[in-house]
Amino acid sequence: MTVLMLTIFTVMVAISSQYPAGARFMTFVVGFPAIALCLLQLVLDVRDFRHEAARGAGGEMAAVPADVSGVPVDPSLQMQMQMNAAGLTVEHTPEAARKEMIVWGYIFGLIGSILLFGFYITVPIFLVVFLRFYAKARWPMAILLPAAVSAFLYVMLGYVFRMTLHIGFVTEYLLDRISG
C-alpha cells in the first residue's frame, strides 16, 4: 500500500511540475511532504517486516479486555470486544482471497454492465444472480426481493426524485436502430 501511495504522489507531482507556478503550488505543498512520509513509512514497513520475521509466525495477539477499571469482563465477551475493536477487517487466507476475487468480479460486472446495458436491465439481473449464487438465497427469495427493490428504486428515483438513470451505450444504440 505504501508503494502504491508513493507511486501515486510521485506521478502526480511529476505531472504537475509541467503546470504554471500558481497551479502547481498546492500539488507541491501536498505532494512533497506526502512523498517524504511515504518513504518514512516504507522504512517503518521494512523494519516491522523484519521484526515480524524475527518473531516468527503467529505474532502477538492484540490486548484483550481482561478487566475494566477493576471489573472482570466475561471471557465470552472479550473476544467479541476484541473483534469489535478491530472493526471490519479481511483475513489473509486463501479462502478469503478466493471470495475477494469473486466479489470484485461481481462489482466489475455490475459497473461494466450498467455502462453497456444501463441500470434498468443490469440492476434486477445483478441482484438475482448475487442473491442466488453468492448469498445462496432460495429462488423465490432471489427473484421476489430484487423485483420489489428494483421497482421501489425506479419509482423513487424516476417519479419521486425525477432522476434519469443511465440507459447504457448498447441499449441506447439498439433503441436508436429500432426507432430508425
Touching another protein, residues 69-98 (CB under 8 A): 69-74, 76-77, 80-81, 84-85, 88-91, 96
Interaction of residue 115 with another protein, rule CB under 8 A: yes
Cβ-count burial of 121 within 10 angstroms (0-12 exposed, 13-18 middle, 19+ buried)?
middle
- E strand or H helix that includes residue 68: strand 67-68
With contacts defined by CB under 8 A, how many residues of the chain interact with another protein? 79
End-to-end Cα separation, the chain, in angstroms: 51
Nearest CB to another protein, comparing residues 68 and 178: 68
Nearest CB to another protein, comparing residues 21 and 178: 21
Amino acid at the residue 17: S
Q: Among residues 124, 118, 117, which one has the least CA distance to residue 142?
A: 124
Residues in 128-147 that interact with another protein by CB under 8 A:
130-131, 134-135, 137, 146
Interaction of residue 170 with another protein, rule CB under 8 A: no
Residues in 26-55 that interact with another protein by CB under 8 A:
26-27, 29-31, 33-34, 37-38, 40-41, 44
The least CB distance from residue 149 to another protein, in Å, is 6
Q: Which of 7, 14, 51, 108 binds another protein (CB under 8 A)?
A: 108
Nearest-angstrom CA–CA distance, 31 and 13: 6
The least CB distance from residue 99 to another protein, in Å, is 5
Interaction of residue 165 with another protein, rule CB under 8 A: yes
Please say whether the beta carbons of 38 and 7 come within 8 A: no
Nearest-angstrom CA–CA distance, 91 and 20: 46
